[in-house]
Amino acid sequence: MDTAIQLYSLRSLDEPLEETLARVADAGLDGAEFAGTGDASPTELRATLDEQGLAAAGAHVPIEVIEDDVADIVRTCTLLGTDTLVVPILDADRFADADAVAETATMLSELAERVADDGLRLAYHNHELEFVAVDGDGAGDGEESETAFERLVETTEGVDFELDVGWAHAAGADPVALIEQYGERISRVHLKDVAVDAAAERGGRPVDLGVGDVPLVECAEAARAADVDWAVFEHDAPEDPVAFVESAGEWSDRV
């Protein structure tokens, strides 16, 4: 399993993205997952990746941008050298009930089929909002309801998943169990740590790796056992992004 960092974690660094990629390589990681390309062209960034011995672990692109010009996004991914386009989030109303989840599954499956023609895989990255309960087909007859996330995995076709273990844990789910159950559909995991408010039913605050409540080592072990391709480290708002990328490099030796 290769290791990477989500470059969104390092967005506050006041430096060209090429310099940030050099930091990632110096930390000993195998790659970087993009969330935009800054002022550099994809061709320039691919050259930097090659120079630093890094791979592009994927590209996060908002659904509105993909739908606006999917051909352009496909070209960008191809130039960066990644085969995976990641939808980073969808609005909560797309998971409001079983019907909404069904529509979302159809939309993602159709988009996955479209980009597959150009050699790309489509993946979806979760937050907390996908772990709301939706009624099962046998609701009212004693059948347990599923979460929107579970229903989405089970009803999409050709769609990979990037399981953010931090947000899953914050939502009250068991990220290790999710990896064990759906490992064949999970191509990458976001190793994010969060501190969970014990008084709240759900909710978490991103923290430095190893400081929070997420069983990161167990998640990484489950991901490796499931042949997940990438372990991607992420922190939504690190106080010290330089220290975070260095910490990610240290953690990469443990996964």
pLDDT score of 215 more than 90 = yes
How far is Cα 241 from Cα 210, in angstroms, rounded to an integer? 15
pLDDT score of 219 more than 60 = yes
Q: Where are the alpha helices (DSSP H) in 15-57?
A: 17-26, 42-52
Weakest-pLDDT range from 55-69, 173-187, 196-210:
196-210
Distance between start and end Cα atoms, the chain: 8
**What is the per-residue pLDDT for 89?**
98
Segment 26-53 shows an average pLDDT of 96
Weakest-pLDDT range from 50-59, 112-121, 182-191, 192-201:
192-201
Instruction: Assign residue 143 the CATH number of its domain.
Output: 3.20.20.150
**What is the per-residue pLDDT for 204?**
84
Element (H, E) at 144: none
Segment 38-60 shows an average pLDDT of 97
Residue 168: φ, ψ to 5°: -60, -45
**Which residues are CB-neighbours of 125 under 8 A, at least 6 positions away?**
60, 86, 87, 88, 89, 161, 162, 164, 190
Tell whether pTM > 0.85: yes
In this predicted model, which residue has the larger pLDDT, 117 or 143?
Answer: 117
Q: What percent of the chain has pLDDT over 90?
A: 90
How far is Cα 117 from Cα 235, in angstroms, rounded to an integer? 33
pLDDT score of 46 more than 70 = yes
Mean pLDDT, the chain, integer = 94
- 1-13 pLDDT, tens per residue? 999 999 999 999 9
Domain region containing 111: 2-252
Segment 53-63 shows an average pLDDT of 98
- 126-165 pLDDT, tens per residue? 999 999 999 755 444 556 679 999 999 999 999 999 999 9
Q: How many domains does the chain have?
A: 1
In this predicted model, which residue has the larger pLDDT, 159 or 202?
Answer: 159
- 59-109 pLDDT, tens per residue? 999 999 999 999 999 999 999 999 999 999 999 999 999 999 999 999 999
**What is the per-residue pLDDT for 145?**
78
pLDDT score of 122 more than 80 = yes
